[in-house]
Amino acid sequence: MKLLSKLLAQLTLACGALVVSLPACAQSGDAAPRRPKITGISHVAFHVSDLAKAQHFWRDQLGFEQYFSLPKKDGSGTRIAFFKVNDRQHVELFNEPSPRTPNMLAHVCFSTDDIEGMRAYLRSQDVPVADSTGSKTRAGDYAFMVKDPDGMLVEFVQTLPDGVEAKAAGKFAPPSRVSSQIYHVGFTVGNSKKSMDFYGRILGFQETWRGGSNPDELSWINLRVPDGVDYIELMLYRAPLRPDQYGTKNHVALEVPDAAAVVATLQGRTAFSDYAKPLAVQVGRNGKRQVNIFDPDGSRVEVMEPHTVDGKPVPSSKAPPPPNAYE
């Protein structure tokens, strides 16, 4: 009888534990979606006013190879030309006017390992996301776009084995290209607080450095992707910007081991003879050697060494962001 009572007591305790655990399971099932990995910069896209000139710049002057193109829907020519940087990164040239003239930057795209998980996560953070579940791009990958606080298009892509990029692996990588790595992408930001909330809190980018052109005002905030080494550069500004300032602030940076060697290579190319701007190696505020090159529309391509000239990190600026109409 005592044994039976003991068994019943143990059974009651077990059932109680089971009942207590059920709400916990249900609660975990209702938890907000986790952010999938963001592994790096997939590509950056620019609008160009003359596709032939832009192709000449990227192909004949900088040495990259076009590995894919998409036609216009009316069949009147090429809409987008794809220039490969490496097996996971490229540059897109949009052969159409920019809707945000004079801003020629079309969008920046980040790689993720779970496109539908990213869509669900962003919705859980109240970021408007269009309902295009399961749809593929014309290049054969899963992707969708959202807008950042400044209205810039931010794309997320999950590459697929049968997509154009995956099929081009190991190809279209000539030794003539001045770089094999997109180092970072920089773009204008009107409200640093909103941008830090979007890229930092929501997307999980990690701040690595702050810099300024003068000690009294912040100019740049660098944020590394949460699951990789690529980074973005938030280009802070005083509103309003002049039309000629967009191309300098909105830029793509290419990593190179020797900036001076790149200048010598470019100056030695016949195709570079019609480049009308001077090329000069400079040491940036971050202590790294760099060279600014501009495409035919004035969009900046920055080639930069990955290490400081003395091997020591430059301290971050402690200056406040510039005042502007959006703060």
Could you report the per-residue pLDDT of 251-307, keeping only the tens digit for each?
999 999 999 999 999 999 999 998 989 999 999 999 999 999 999 999 999 999 999
Question: Which sequence spans correspond to the domains of the chain?
Answer: 38-308
pLDDT tier, 14 (very low <50, low <70, confident <90, very high otherwise): very low
pLDDT in tens, 23-52: 333 344 568 899 999 999 999 999 999 999
Tell me the sheet residues that pair with 254.
Answer: 182, 303
What pLDDT score was predicted for residue 31? Answer: 80
Q: Domain 38-308 - what CATH class?
A: alpha beta
Mean pLDDT of the region 170-193: 96
- Contact of 57 with 93, CB cutoff 8 Å: no
Beta bridge partners of 246: none
Provide CB contacts within 8 A for 124, sequence distance 6+. Answer: 32, 33
| Integer CA distances (angstroms), 21 to 29, 33, 228, in order | 13, 21, 37
Give the per-residue pLDDT at 274. Answer: 86
Alpha carbon 170 to its chain's center? 22
Write phi, then psi, for 270 (nearest 5 degrees).
Answer: -60, -40
pLDDT over 70, % of the chain: 90
Question: What average pLDDT does this structure show over 74-86?
Answer: 96
Which stretches of 37-180 are assigned E, i.e. beta strand? Answer: 38-47, 65-71, 78-86, 89-94, 105-112, 142-147, 153-158
Q: What is the mean pLDDT of the chain?
A: 90
Q: Which residues contact 27 (CB under 8 A, 6 or more apart)?
A: none
d(CA 306, CA 91): 20
Between 17-26, 68-77, 133-142, 210-219, the lowest mean confidence (pLDDT) is in: 17-26
Higher pLDDT, 247 or 239: 247
Q: Phi-psi region for residue 85, left (φ > 0), alpha (ψ -120 to 50) or beta?
A: alpha
**Local structure of residue 57 (DSSP, 8 states):** I
The predicted pLDDT at position 276 comes to 85
Q: Check whether 327 has a pLDDT greater than 70.
A: no
| In the block, residue with structure tokens 């269009």 | 130
* Contact (CB, 8 A) for 275 and 226: no
* Span 146-175, average pLDDT: 97
Name the token pair of 271. 């195709």
pLDDT exceeds 60 at position 13: no
Instruction: Look up residue 99 and give its two tokens.
Output: 């809707």
Token readout for 312 is 């020591």
- Of the two residues 291 and 133, the one the predictor is more confident about is 291
pLDDT the model gives residue 19: 34
**Banded model confidence at residue 18, pLDDT cuts 50, 70, 90:** very low
**Rounded Cα gap, residues 181 and 82, in angstroms:** 15
Handedness of CA 77, 79, 85, 87 (dihedral sign): negative
In the chain, how many H helices and how many E strands? 7, 15
Contact 85/91 with Cβ under 8 angstroms? yes
Q: What is the pTM of this model?
A: 0.89
